[in-house]
Each structure stands twice: as structure tokens, then as C-alpha cells.
A and B are shown apart, each in its own frame.
Chain A
Amino acid sequence: MGHGGESRRTQAFDGELGDAVARAQQGDEAAFAVAYRLVQPGLLAYVRGLVGADAEDVMSDAWLEIARDLGRFKGDGAGFRGWTATIARHRALDHLRRQRVRPRASALEQDVLELPAPHSTHDQAMEAMSTEQALALVGGLPRDQAEAVLLRVVVGLDGPAAARVLGKRPGAVRTAAHRGLRRLARQLAADGVTDEAPRTLGEST
């Protein structure tokens, strides 16, 4: 299915990113800063989906590792996205293991269930989804679907790259992303983001 918007956006950046990475591997720290600025927002969003509010700390750790191991990396801009996403994911999973906190059991979820207040119209919900709301929506997905959606949509990885990050087969990741997006669309189309409402509405249509 069309992963149009984000893929196109990231593909436009990938050339620039590849150049920056290549120069950084030659020792250019300004180029490294450019690569950081290109990659960090998406990675942070992905890690936030995994660990919630601790995402900034986790990404700091991840960038230490990225900065240290940059010389080992081989590949272009798109490959750099996948490589950094793998490192960020490992750091996030380490963090979760340390905390013994499941990504979906964060306090965010509770906040968000109250966010779409009864008087907030559907149009507002669709057009101005808050970060917390979106996180709760994604967090409501099964773990594999959430990760597949985030890697493909937010980090901008293609199917094989996302599959390599997750250590799964490309077909499985494609299916997971597809299902996750469909479920999100159903929930968004229904009023509110609670789990019960969309299910009944989705079946009635």
C-alpha cells in the first residue's frame, strides 16, 4: 500500500543524508550534525512509541553508540536510517528490560483516553491529533504492528529495511504495518479513540 507521504519525504532527504554520512565518516563533525538533524526526529518518535517519556534519554544513549560506531557503518542514506533505527531499538529494548516497563503500560495511555473529550468533534480529532493521542493510538496496537507502522511511517524505512530492524521476514512486517494502519484508520474514523467504539462501528459498516 502507499506509504506515500513519508516515504517520499524521506527519500528526498536520503541523498542529502547519504552525503552527510559519507562526509562524517571522513571525520567531518559538521556533517555528522547534519545527519543527526535529519535522522533524530523520526527516531525519537519511534523510540517514544516504544518507551514513552524516556525516549530522549534512550536516544542520547543511542547516539553515543552511533557516534562511536559510525566508522563501521556501510551504506547510503536509507541504510543509515535502518542502521540507526536498529541501534535505537536495541537501546530502547535495553531500557525496557531495565525498567521492566512494558511500552504500552505507560501513564500516557490514561491521559489520552480522556483527551478526546465528549464535546470535541470528530473533525478536531482528525485534523489536530495531539502527540499523546497519536501515541496512545499506536500504543493500542499490538506490539509488532505498532513497531512496523512506526518504522515505516515515522522513520521512513522501506519494507525490507524495517524487516531487518525488527529481525523478521519482510512479508510479516508488511502485513503487520498494513493491519496496524487499517486498525488506526478504523479507530480514527470512529468517534473517539477508545477501543470499544471503533470495534462496533467498524463491524457495522
Chain B
Amino acid sequence: MGERQSDGGRAGRRRVRPERSVCPVGVPAAAGRAAPVSVEGPAGDTARLEALLVAALVRDGVDAGAEQRAVAAFVAAREAGAHGARTRRRDDWRASRRRFGGRSLRATLGALVAGCALSGVAWAGIQAAGTPGGGRSEDTGPTRTPSASSAPAVPDVSGTSGAGEAPGVSASASAAESARDGARHGSGPAEAAGDVEAQCRAYERAAGRGRAPDAPVWERLVAAAGGAARVDAYCAGRAGGALPTASAPAPASVPPVARGEAGAGRPTGEAAGTGSSGEGKGRGEGEGAGRKP
């Protein structure tokens, strides 16, 4: 477009000069000769070019001999009855058929097929997300949690304090095996201690590689530690043997909150459990941060 405009401007100026015209650009003298061209700018330029082409290529008037031959052929065909012939598809140039029949049929079919395909994809997506164990997305973690792991785990914790250590240990073991997995899927409030540990581990590993850990893990860890700057100290404290002492008082306070929240299927269950297994202050912030999303 820019090229054409500049070209047009140049052409216009050059054309205008010999005619002593005051028109700045784009109203060429040739306009009157050919088609009505009064537009300025690229469109006018195009129209002028078309007028030039027409003037140069189309010769008005026809060869009389050729016309007579054509008419003679027409008469001959008429006499021979050829004009009653059936209309083929390529002979039908009616606007309605051409524009609305053929095209819209194809467009309708295309839209139909595309709609079916898209809705199929959407349905499959919904199915995959709703199926337990089917999806790997973040949302499915909490919804799965109550039915799968927290129901058996919570009674253990809330029941006897002696048994309370067992799930903590096993959870930390399993979490240690798959730290990232455990942190992501959030296997429940009962495994809060191991969860935090796993999160700390994941954080350290990621920090060692110079990367930020997974966003949800990091958020939970920050919430539990009570601030991004205190994560290091928090994790160090956890690693330094805080786990046994923290898990002892935890069963008394955690289960009511954690069970209720986990039962409701909200993602806050994890955050609350994480926080409550630590200090009271951390728990409050953990809940607050967990409810936000």
C-alpha cells in the first residue's frame, strides 16, 4: 500500500506538470478520457490504472464480418433446434444459485462438521477431567483427595496419638520418594508434615538448580513459612527435627478443620493442613492463602 501510494504520488506529479494543473496528486488528466476517476489515493490510482488498461486493450467496435458469422451460427443453431438443450451445471450463472445455493450448502456442511468435532473435543475434555485418576491437572487433586486418601488417613491421625506418628512417617516416606508428585497432588491434610518436608525438598532442589519451584508448591511453602524471606529458615527448622514435635500436637487441632475442608472438596484443605502442623501463626496464614483461589 505504501509503495503504491508513493508511486501514485510520483506518477501524479509527473503527469500534472506539463498540463500546468494545480491539482496536487491523483486527479489525472486521463480520467476524463476514460472512466470517471475522481478518487484520490490508492483507490483512485487503481481506478486510473484500470482505465488505462481498458483504454489500451479494449477496442470499441467489433469486426462486422465476425459479428455476422456469429449471428449466422446463432441462426443455424436456432433452426437446428439446438437452443432447447438442457442446461448443464456450468451453464447456470444465476446469482442466487451460485451465491446462496452452492456456497452456503458447503459452508453449512463445514460448520456442521466443525461443530461436531469441537463439541466432541469439549465432551472428551470434560470426561477426562471428571474421571478419577484420569486427569493430571491441578484442579483434580483436591476433588480426588477426600475420597481416595484422606478418608482413611484422617481417622488414624485423630484417633490415637501413638498411631499418629505412623501415617506421618509413611507419608513422609512416600512423599520423599516422589516429592514433586506428592506436593502437586496434595495427598491430604494428614500428610501435612511430610508434605511440607517434600515441599522444602522440592524448593531446595529447585533452588540448587537456580530455578523457581512449581508455583503452587512455592505458594504453599511461602504461606506456611509466613513470607518468602522466611522460607529458608522455615525449611531449615523443619529439617532440623521439628517434624516429630510438630506432629504430636497437630492431631488435636488439625482434624476438625482439615476434615471439614477436605470434605467440601476445596483446595484449602491442603493449605490449612500444611499450616496447622506448624505454628499457629503459620496455620492462620495458610488458610488465608489457601482460600484465595
- A residues with a Cβ closer than 8 A to B are 1-6, 8-9, 24-25, 27, 29, 32-33, 36-37, 40-42, 44-45, 48-49, 56, 59-60, 63-64, 66-76, 78-80, 82-83, 86, 122-123, 126-127, 129-131, 133-135, 138, 149-150, 153-154, 160-161, 164, 181-182, 184-186, 188-190, 202, 205
Contact = CB atoms under 8 A, between A and B. Distances in A.
A33 B73 CA distance: 11
A161 B93 CA distance: 9
Contacts of A59: 66
A64 to B, nearest CB: 5
Interface string B90-104: 111111001100000
A2 B18 CA distance: 28
Contact of B94 (A2, A25, A74): A74
A63 B60 contact: no
Give the interface SS of chain A, mostly helix, strand, loop or mixed: helix
Contact of B15 (A9, A76, A123): A123
B123 interface: no
A40 B70 CA distance: 11
A181 B1 CA distance: 12
B interface, size bucket? 35 or more
25 contacts: A2-B46, A4-B36, A5-B35, A5-B36, A5-B51, A29-B75, A36-B62, A36-B70, A36-B71, A40-B66, A40-B67, A42-B58, A45-B58, A56-B63, A67-B73, A70-B77, A74-B94, A75-B92, A86-B90, A123-B18, A126-B14, A153-B50, A153-B54, A185-B45, A189-B11
B27 to A, nearest CB: 14
Contacts of B83: 25, 27, 70-71
A73 B18 contact: no
A59 B67 CA distance: 11
